[in-house]
Chains A and B, each alone.
Chain A
């Protein structure tokens, strides 16, 4: 027994030291320890690291592979985080500590202003990069810091339309042709809500709601204005901005009168709603089409269509920035310029539906003539292209845009799902915004 015990003891000791040693070895061999960006040049091979999130699609469409093929001395290591909130938290922490950053970092539109205001010094100025004068003017102004430094290049934009179910419209006695449907609510979002009331009256299936969520409508309305929550000098103006208050009123009305399916876009409950056809319309930015077709599934192919929205608006869109400290800054700039170049934007649009932020790409026939098979062959290039024209030429962003947008969605949920009055919900929303911006 004692021998067995001794044997066990030696074995335990051996295991302990082995595991500990292994831990040290692996610990020392991973990464490069200078607190840099992970990229660098070694034996003539350039390594560029990228930090991306959610819906950017560069990895998925094979664009990164293509770049590496065309530039055999370049290796790209891209890391895609799922949730943008988590991604941004890590980015903030890394910026705060000045380490753990990638050579290239994705920037979501809701964070653009905050980064341009507080972190511009950590990004490289992209304004001088050649052949980069093809972006929509408002796109780049969103990431331009006070000293005219451009901290990122635009990826896509989010012009809006309304996606709707032809079969449900027909059943409710509404027109189904996309031109006629567009006419139903032409020029005014309140007509869209009126159409919803018609739909509710006409439909025989009380399990089907007119739209998925009140916040979709709210977003579409506020983003049609050049100012939303902040004015140009960075002051909070949402309380007195008619664009916001009117959107709130209408969305609250829709949410409070049972026109919505009480879902939250891009959250798991939304997907089964699509799969099981529980709503007839969704306000859809271009990049949402891919999601709808995937989640609604082949069974619903041809039942969906796309109609022009009452007013043009831009929801979403991202940027790619280059970290100033990067040892491969020039190569990273080149890669960013390439990824956001008209040809690549076209290619992403064709594969995923992300709408180009490049004026040239917007004019390309591959974009203007594009049709969506899933959405009853709707001419999405034309519809979204025209919507993009209507987007106000000035888009004022604010520091906490992303957070405030979430707080408003939350406020609308109070009305939709918890039976609060719009006034109560507005008061809660105000309190929360005060906390979030204070």
Chain B
């Protein structure tokens, strides 16, 4: 732009201007990223980080909900007590099994569904909207309906099972039945959502990659494995991270599924109590905020641990792979 201006006179004037422009440009390069992330971090600091730190502080005390101003310093007692608490290990294990039961089928189905939706379809909008509809249902409404469907004596699912000669299943009191039922609610609600994310990502995979693969003689299945999956890798990572986090925080579904006081404890035998429910039980049934805060921080630390381990493993794996390649 500037070079199109002819005379030398303007050329002399131009130098400071250009300098100012480069300065501005540099400022822009350096500052803009921070400006872009500032709104997020400001709100985050005020409404998430501060409560988080406060929670850490609470976890070092004995505090009851109704008398939050009376805090008795107990240092790490809450943490050692949790470590020795059977319920904690039980909840951890349940969180794990429920996480696997609900996440793995959910993401697999979502991937398949997205693949199907990516065909050229008649009535594609209908199928897409149908797939995403469960997501529009609140946890409360979904869990209520499924609780009715899974009801022991008169529920629809047991009725259907009875048609094929299966005896009534006590969906709540049998551990694996209960975990299956709860996972069903999660899978029902989230599969379509994940499928939509995958679909959006699949649509962004450039076509020439498929063309190249087709020229190389790849079958549809091979194209799916070698083009589609790598092409939407980041989105898959996103959904895995998100459902893992969602699984660790699983709370509303088992709470409502258990109905009333039994929901808070995750069944009479804690057979489906998750860490989220344990936190809730400590905080909002036993009203021990210190212990609830401890569970929260342990959940937080566990997740960080998982991600650190995952990163280290990944790094080691790639290092090994590269050393293999060079040798």
A residues within 8 Å of B by Cβ?
Answer: 83, 85, 89, 92-93, 95-97, 114, 118-119, 264, 266-269, 272-273, 276, 278, 403, 406, 409-411, 413-414, 417-418, 420, 428, 432, 435-436, 438
Q: A96-B65, A410-B265, A420-B269 are in contact. Are A89 and B260 (CB under 8 A)?
A: no
CA distance A414 to B287 in the complex (A): 24
CA distance A278 to B153 in the complex (A): 9
B153 touches A119 (CB 8 A): no
CA distance A118 to B148 in the complex (A): 39
B259 touches A418 (CB 8 A): no
CA distance A114 to B261 in the complex (A): 18
User: Would you give the shortest CB distance from B296 to chain A, in whole angstroms?
Assistant: 16
Residues of B within 8 A of A268 (CB): 147-148, 151, 259
CA distance A269 to B260 in the complex (A): 11
User: Would you give the shortest CB distance from A220 to chain B, in whole angstroms?
Assistant: 18
B258, closest chain A residue (CB): A267
CA distance A249 to B271 in the complex (A): 24
Residues of B within 8 A of A119 (CB): 66
Residues of A within 8 A of B288 (CB): 438
Residues of B within 8 A of A414 (CB): 268-269
B64, closest chain A residue (CB): A118
Q: A89-B284, A276-B154 are in contact. Are A83 and B269 (CB under 8 A)?
A: no
How many of chain B's residues touch chain A, expressed as a range?
20 to 34
User: Residues 271-300 of chain B: 1 if any A CB is under 8 Å from the residue's CB, otherwise 0?
Assistant: 100000000000011111000000000000
| Cβ of B152 under 8 Å from chain A | yes
A91, closest chain B residue (CB): B66
In B33-75, the 8 Å CB interface with A consists of 64-69
CA distance A425 to B64 in the complex (A): 28
A410 touches B152 (CB 8 A): no
Give the contacting residue for A96; candidates B67, B87, B148, B152; CB below 8 A.
Answer: B67
Chain A: interface secondary structure? helix
Q: A93-B65, A413-B268 are in contact. Are A272 and B153 (CB under 8 A)?
A: yes
Residues of A within 8 A of B67 (CB): 96, 118
Other 14 A-B pairs with CB < 8 A, given A410-B265, A417-B268: A83-B260, A85-B261, A93-B65, A96-B67, A119-B66, A267-B262, A268-B151, A268-B259, A410-B268, A411-B268, A413-B262, A413-B268, A428-B269, A435-B87
Residues of A within 8 A of B286 (CB): 403, 435-436
CA distance A430 to B152 in the complex (A): 28
B144, closest chain A residue (CB): A268
| Cβ of B173 under 8 Å from chain A | yes
A264 touches B262 (CB 8 A): yes
Residues of A within 8 A of B287 (CB): 92
Residues of A within 8 A of B260 (CB): 83, 85, 264, 266-267
CA distance A435 to B265 in the complex (A): 12
Residues of B within 8 A of A420 (CB): 269
| Cβ of B211 under 8 Å from chain A | no
Give the contacting residue for B259; candidates A269, A406, A436; CB below 8 A.
Answer: A269
| Cβ of B14 under 8 Å from chain A | no
User: Would you give the shortest CB distance from A325 to chain B, in whole angstroms?
Assistant: 16
17 contacts between A and B (CB under 8 A): A85-B260, A92-B66, A96-B67, A96-B69, A264-B260, A266-B260, A267-B262, A269-B151, A272-B151, A272-B153, A276-B153, A410-B261, A413-B262, A417-B170, A420-B269, A435-B87, A435-B286
CA distance A409 to B154 in the complex (A): 22
Q: A269-B153, A272-B153 are in contact. Are A436 and B269 (CB under 8 A)?
A: no
A418 touches B153 (CB 8 A): no
Residues of B within 8 A of A276 (CB): 153-154
B261 touches A413 (CB 8 A): no
Residues of A within 8 A of B64 (CB): 118
Residues of B within 8 A of A278 (CB): 153
User: Would you give the shortest CB distance from B210 to chain A, in whole angstroms?
Assistant: 28
B68, B259, B261 pick with most chain A CB within 10 angstroms: B261
